[in-house]
A and B are shown apart, each in its own frame.
Chain A
Amino acid sequence: MKDTLRFSPESGCLAVVGELTIYQAKAAAEGLRSAFASGQLRHVDLAAVTELDAAGLQWLLVAARLTVNDGEPVTLTNHSEPVCDALALAGIEVSS
């Protein structure tokens, strides 16, 4: 299986590719932890997310709470349609 997460430390961008569901939850959590630990994480790119379930939703919510550089929040960007749908179902507004 391909990696769900691609992190480029130069841009600080963590890209999520493909499904973000219970099946990828463990790997996605690991990836988020190591990206965060590197200190380079700035934003999460959701453009290539094809499916999101409640496990993926939890992951997004946890990621959005992270702060770097003395309180600057990690931002979620480029929400794909499946991401928007899942957020709408959960009653969560997308702040752009």
Chain B
Amino acid sequence: MTTMATALQTFLDESRELLSDMELLLLAMESRSGEPELQNALFRCVHTIKGSAGMFGLDHVVDFTHVVENVLDRLRAGEIALSRDLANLLLRCRDHISLLVEVPEPSEAAALQPGGVVLLAGLEPFHSCAGSSHAQTDSTEPVAAEASRKCRIDIRIHADALRHGMDPLGFIRFLGTLGDVAAVRTLEEKLPVLGDMDPETCYLDFEIDLVTSADRIAIENIFELASDLYQIEVQDQCPVTEVDPVAAPLPAQPDTDESVESAAPGAEEQADTSQQNRRRKQVQHFRIQADKLDNLINLVGELVISSAAVSLGAEQSGDTPARESAANLNLLVEAIRDSSLDLRMVPIGETFQRFQRVVRDVASELGKDIELVVTGADTELDKTVVEKIGDPLTHLVRNACDHGVEAPAARSQKGKPTRGRVHLNAYHESGSIIIEVSDDGGGLSRERILAKAMERELVRPDAVLTDQDVFNLIFEPGFSTVEQVTNLSGRGVGMDVVRRNIESLRGTVELVSPGVLGGTTFRIRLPLTLAIIDGFMARVGDATYVVPLEMVVECTELSAEQQLGAEQHYINLRQEVLPLIRLRAHFKLSGELRKRQNIIVVRHGGQKAGLIVDELLGENQTVIKPLGGIFSNLRGLSGSTILGNGQVALILDVPTLIQQVARQEDAANRGFQSHARPRLSAS
């Protein structure tokens, strides 16, 4: 059900979309300013916002957009040109409109006024006379009450009025809303005889006596809508002090349409269905509120759990029909789960496009010329992931502009084009989305990073590190390679924060140099969704743990001779040395060690490890619930889930677990620990 509140929400959504279009158009026009398509589209953005804002009575939006619209109108008419200054100004106006639009109450817009005044002053040279934007709304002002009197209204009607559907009877009926229609005279002098008549031409004029307190303007305004077709003359006649109550209002019009429909019901129906058919052919989009969708996903989560409970019950009952039904139900629930999650998938393109502005602003701040290239904009991922990836991405893009792309002078020295490039790319890879931020700069200097790391005592001088190990050092807390801290990257947010943000999304980030464009490439790997995963369950003691299935490489039951000693940290699995993570020890669980142990081999970001568990329980669908407060400090857990039998299982945070082992090992390699250990095996 649409209400004014939802309509207002639509206005907000629509304005946000238009404003983001406006930004892109302005940026595109910097190189293609002469294209009428772009000019018109740009005009339409502001035009639509102004028009809609007016409908909601958002005068603060109307007043400001009116001036901007005027400038854009002149721009597309070719009266002014889009200079770089004007583009900058319009971008700032765009930002201001987006502030205005978000203001919930017009009364609160006052705080934004000073900013608006400055921008309007800047626009002054570009707009023509600032005509009133309220010319039309003024006419809705209540009409000044005049004394009730009788007016003579002469209505002369254009011959084409009927052809344009402007039926005089409708206007006469409407006059009744202004007062009492005392008399109507139909003037048929022009009406020819049947033989000479063009039945579609209007031959009639009218004279009406109206008893009203409305002034002449109000009466004339009734016909303003069709002012080309109606000539109106209003003459005041004798004032009346008392409106005659006997002059009864015209009888209400009966609902003629009902009888129209019953006259030709078949035809109506036919029209309806053909209309539906045609509708079906178009791809239709409609908006839904995000929280409705989240609610659906939550319910689907509960459904998945219930369905697991049903399966469990059916399994235990041993009843074959029940088990078959449960299996069927399971398939359907899985399908519903996938479709529901798919609803929340959005292309990453919109997020990427935001960076056009970031790159532009950063580049001009740094005195560099940088172009942002976007590919893979159609790649979809969960809306909740999209919302959270913005900040880390911004940091990486800024970093690429700042530290990646060299200054123009340095670039020409190297024989590169002065215009640098930053590339945003996205694609799907085995249940994950990969987002790459690349630059065509000089790449990373192993020596500089290493020197810095040693200076910061992050590594020992005699440590033996691969290039990858060195590059990953920049994700360590408090690492920065550029001596001169620029105002862009020196904001106290380091790469360690970027990594932490990405890991909190169950993702990873790695650095490749030389990267895709020759400089560096940051590669972010994220799960497609945060809500539901396929999991693999295992038991340790009394507790059940879930490992995201996509990270499981294999499961092995250790044979009697393979059983591990309590101090053994590595195992040789088919000629591969695998570090071990003892979940029982890690989570400090009590209970006897089982005689037979099992290993779940997990992989994340190119590294493998073996998780030692008591019992393998198999796959299930896992609905991820956030961890409660008491668990939030526990490293190695990413969430919880409820099993079909109602028990809570904990979801293992494999990336953290692996990193923990990796870090111990790195430390060993850097020589902080005395006994050497074999390196993590790379997959």
Contact = CB atoms under 8 A, between A and B. Distances in A.
Do A and B touch (CB < 8 Å)?
A: yes
Interface of A: 1-2, 17-19, 22, 25-26, 28-29, 32-33, 36, 50-51, 53-55, 57-59, 61-63, 65-66, 81-82, 84-86, 88-92
B162 A22 contact: yes
Interface stretch (B89-97, B251-259, B422-430, B524-532): B251-259
B173 to A, nearest CB: 6
B200 A25 contact: yes
Interface string B641-683: 0000000000000000000000000000000000000000000
A62 B203 CA distance: 11
B184 interface: yes
Given A85-B250, A86-B169, A90-B184, A62 B197 contact: yes
24 contacts: A17-B263, A18-B260, A18-B264, A22-B165, A26-B200, A28-B199, A29-B197, A29-B199, A32-B194, A36-B194, A50-B256, A54-B169, A57-B204, A58-B203, A61-B188, A62-B197, A65-B193, A66-B194, A82-B254, A82-B256, A89-B173, A89-B184, A90-B184, A90-B206
B259 A53 contact: no
A85 B251 contact: yes
B183 A91 contact: yes
A58 B254 contact: no
Sorted from nearest, which 7 A-B pairs have the closest CB atoms? A91-B184, A25-B199, A29-B199, A90-B186, A53-B167, A50-B259, A22-B162
B606 interface: no
A71 B609 CA distance: 112
A54 to B, nearest CB: 5
Contacts of B167: 22, 53-55
Contacts of A36: 194
B666 to A, nearest CB: 84
Interface in B280-312: none
B260 A62 contact: no
Interface in B12-32: none
Contacts, number: 98
Interface string B236-278: 0000000000000011011010011001100100000000000
A1 B254 CA distance: 23
Interface string B178-204: 000001111010011111010110111
B231 to A, nearest CB: 16
B199 A59 contact: yes
Nearest to B157: A54
A18 to B, nearest CB: 5
A89 B250 contact: yes
Contacts of A32: 194
Given A89-B184, A92-B186, A61 B162 contact: no
A74 to B, nearest CB: 10
Contacts of A28: 199
Nearest to B172: A89
Given A18-B263, A82-B254, 17 more contacts: A2-B264, A22-B167, A32-B194, A50-B260, A51-B256, A53-B167, A53-B169, A54-B202, A55-B167, A58-B203, A62-B191, A65-B194, A84-B251, A86-B169, A89-B173, A90-B204, A91-B185
A5 to B, nearest CB: 12
A51 B260 contact: yes
Interface of B: 161-163, 165, 167-169, 172-173, 183-186, 188, 191-195, 197, 199-200, 202-204, 206, 250-251, 253-254, 256, 259-260, 263-264, 267
B169 A89 contact: yes
A62 B192 CA distance: 8
Contact of A58 (B172, B185, B195, B204): B204
Contacts of A1: 264, 267
Contact of B199 (A55, A65, A85): A55
A57 B167 CA distance: 11
Looking at B200, B206, B267, the one whose CB has the most chain A CB atoms below 10 A away is B200
B188 to A, nearest CB: 6
A26 B254 CA distance: 26
Contacts of A90: 169, 172, 184, 186, 204, 206
A77 B617 CA distance: 89
B180 to A, nearest CB: 13
A28 B198 CA distance: 11
A11 B110 CA distance: 78
A57 to B, nearest CB: 7
A25 B202 CA distance: 11
Given A22-B200, A50-B259, A54-B204, A85 B254 contact: yes
A26 B251 contact: no
Contacts of B193: 62, 65
B191 A58 contact: yes
Nearest to A92: B186
Looking at A18, A89, A90, A91, the one whose CB has the most chain B CB atoms below 10 A away is A89
Contacts of B173: 89
A71 to B, nearest CB: 15
B142 to A, nearest CB: 27
A66 B260 CA distance: 29
Contacts of A85: 250-251, 253-254
Contact of B260 (A19, A53, A58): A19
A14 to B, nearest CB: 13
A57 B169 contact: yes
Contacts of A82: 253-254, 256
Contacts of B250: 85, 88-89
Contacts of B184: 89-91
Nearest to A88: B250
B162 A33 contact: no
A84 B203 CA distance: 20
A54 B200 contact: no
Nearest to B163: A22
Contacts of A55: 162, 167, 199-200, 202
B252 to A, nearest CB: 9
A90 B203 CA distance: 14
A66 B197 CA distance: 13
A36 B193 CA distance: 12
Contacts of A50: 256, 259-260, 263
Given A51-B260, A85-B254, A90-B206, A58 B169 contact: no
Contacts of B251: 84-85, 88
A79 to B, nearest CB: 13
A62 B193 CA distance: 6
B260 A57 contact: no
A9 B196 CA distance: 24
A91 B161 CA distance: 20
Nearest to A62: B194
A62 to B, nearest CB: 5
A29 B199 CA distance: 6
A26 B278 CA distance: 31
Contacts of B168: 54
